Amino acid sequence: MKQHQRLTFLFLVALVKLSFGQNDVGQAIINDSGIQALTYNPSRIVGSNLRADINLFSMRVLSVSDYFGANASDIISSDVEFDFEEDSEKFPSNQNTSSKKIKPFRIGIKIGVPTIATINAEYVTPLLDDRVAFTVDYMSLSPTIEEVEIGYNNFEIGSNIYINNTGQGFYGGLSYFSFSGEGTFLDTEFDDGSVGDGKGDIKFNTINLKLGLKFGRTFYTRIEVGYGFGDIPEFIEVTSADGTSNTFEEIPAIPGISSSGLFTANIGFGVQF
């Protein structure tokens, strides 16, 4: 009789312990379930006091490549012969989703020096895991600087390389910049002593290096600073309206442009999709 009572008592103790064992391994999703429960449903765990989890024994065999994956348990438990073509998981799969959700097309405007205002377009390519973007800038303005009317076009094409693969954050840029303008000089004294209006062409090209920061989702903001290396002339030839007289004048003091190089700084706004 006593032997029977002992067996009953041990059975009840084991049953209670087994029920709490579900908490220990995380099968029951409560605050006391431990680290394992976090992997099942993190949102259900408010504040677990457990900081470590001891797993006495576990084993999992998985074969994965860039093209397919197969779990050993699927192969062993299969009722029929396992077929890699039909039963393995294919990669990439249409069911696979990405949390990045990059919006690769960006169109906006930049305001700064020396270009004053430009229209900017950018496209993030899949290169280097969505880090490389191609960018184009264009501007056409006719400001008056130091009593010189300048009509000029700026064209810039290059690439931005983002540190993160989300198309956001810090990036470095390399671009080709072309400046082409025509200045109208008023009341200019020519070399032959005559005075009148004259025109002169201002043209140069630079290779620009930039550092930038972009943030925002549908509507974004970007900040850029950089420097352009190239042969920028100090003087331009000015020819009279009738083409009979000429002289040389200093290039007007366009902000950011000097004979030593091209300083660029701008802030941009736009939309991406």
Within this chain, do residues 61 and 86 fall inside the same structural domain, yes or no? yes
Within this chain, do residues 173 and 247 fall inside the same structural domain, yes or no? yes
40: alpha, beta or left? (left if phi > 0; alpha if psi -120 to 50) = alpha
Within this chain, do residues 81 and 40 fall inside the same structural domain, yes or no? yes
Q: What is the pLDDT of residues 216-270, one digit of tens each?
A: 989 999 999 999 999 888 888 899 888 888 899 888 777 888 888 899 999 999 9
Look up residue 22 and give its two tokens: 């579900």
Can you give the pLDDT at residue 253? 78
Q: Is residue 12 predicted with pLDDT exceeding 60?
A: yes
Looking at 57, 90, 123, which one is the last position of a domain?
Answer: 90
Can you give the pLDDT at residue 46? 53
Q: How sure is the predictor about 110, in pLDDT bands with cuts at 50, 70 and 90? A: very high
Total count of residues recorded for the chain = 273
Within this chain, do residues 174 and 254 fall inside the same structural domain, yes or no? yes
Within this chain, do residues 76 and 195 fall inside the same structural domain, yes or no? no
Within this chain, do residues 131 and 30 fall inside the same structural domain, yes or no? no
- The answer to the question of residue 47 being in a domain is yes
Within this chain, do residues 109 and 230 fall inside the same structural domain, yes or no? yes
- The answer to the question of residue 147 being in a domain is yes
- The answer to the question of residue 3 being in a domain is no
Within this chain, do residues 123 and 35 fall inside the same structural domain, yes or no? no
Domain count, the chain: 2
Per-residue DSSP letter, 98: -
Of 146, 177, 167, nearest in space to 249 by CA:
146
- The answer to the question of residue 27 being in a domain is yes
Within this chain, do residues 112 and 86 fall inside the same structural domain, yes or no? no
Q: Residue 49: helix, strand or coil by DSSP?
A: coil
> Cα 15 to the chain's mean position, in Å?
56
Can you give the pLDDT at residue 97? 44
Run of H or E including 237: strand 235-240
Q: How sure is the predictor about 94, in pLDDT bands with cuts at 50, 70 and 90? A: very low
Q: How many CB atoms are closer than 10 A to CB 99?
A: 5
**Higher per-residue confidence, 84 vs 217:** 217
Looking at 33, 56, 90, which one is the last position of a domain?
Answer: 90
Within this chain, do residues 161 and 53 fall inside the same structural domain, yes or no? no
C-alpha to C-alpha distance for 138 and 153, rounded to whole angstroms: 7
> Cα 75 to the chain's mean position, in Å?
42
Can you give the pLDDT at residue 147? 73
The arithmetic mean of pLDDT across residues 68-92, rounded, is 55
CA atoms within 13 A on the CB side of 100: 14
- The answer to the question of residue 137 being in a domain is yes
- The answer to the question of residue 12 being in a domain is no
Within this chain, do residues 52 and 121 fall inside the same structural domain, yes or no? no
Can you give the pLDDT at residue 95? 46
Q: SS3 breakdown of the chain: % helix, strand, coil, rounded to 5?
A: 15, 50, 35
- The answer to the question of residue 14 being in a domain is no
Please name the amino acid found at residue 221. T
Can you give the pLDDT at residue 188? 86
Can you give the pLDDT at residue 270? 96
Within this chain, do residues 34 and 160 fall inside the same structural domain, yes or no? no
Can you give the pLDDT at residue 2? 57
Q: What is the pLDDT of residues 21-60, one digit of tens each?
A: 445 444 555 555 555 555 555 555 555 555 555 656 666 5
CATH number at residue 168: 2.40.160.20
Looking at 59, 90, 121, which one is the last position of a domain?
Answer: 90
Domain range for 141: 105-272
Order of strands across the sheet that contains 89-90: 62-64, 68-71, 89-90
